[in-house]
Structure 1
Amino acid sequence: MVLEKIYEFIDYGVIVTFYDHGTHVAEVSMYLDERRTLEPQSVVLNYEEAERKIADYRAREA
């Protein structure tokens, strides 16, 4: 199964990427920690939750 990247937000100290997994969306976040290394985290979202979060990130870009 191929995951399709549907949105990516990049800002200082954070990269958040959303992948369409067919039945759900995976949100993969990487944040700089106190050692200045990226610490990954992932969350499974339904499409409605993902749309809300993506809208929030798009608003931050504006």
Structure 2
Amino acid sequence: MNDDQERAILAVQFRGLDGMCVGCRAWWSRLVPYPCWQVEWATSRQARTIMARYLGVRA
């Protein structure tokens, strides 16, 4: 995976006014509370990449 794929997920997966994930509703017609598993995955990947850069380690 690369940063662009993580950013694409986070661009469409966000909290709606009702507290549900907008991307899950639009793509799969599922009512899923935000944050959904895609958001959790993408944010954890971003955090891992940022920490690896900070420590000077390849992720």
Normalized against structure 1, the TM-score is what? Answer: 0.36
Of structures 1 and 2, the larger Rg is shown by 2
| Larger strand share, 1 or 2 | 1
| Larger helix share, 1 or 2 | 2
Which structure has more RCO (C-alpha within 8 Å, separation ≥ 6)? 2
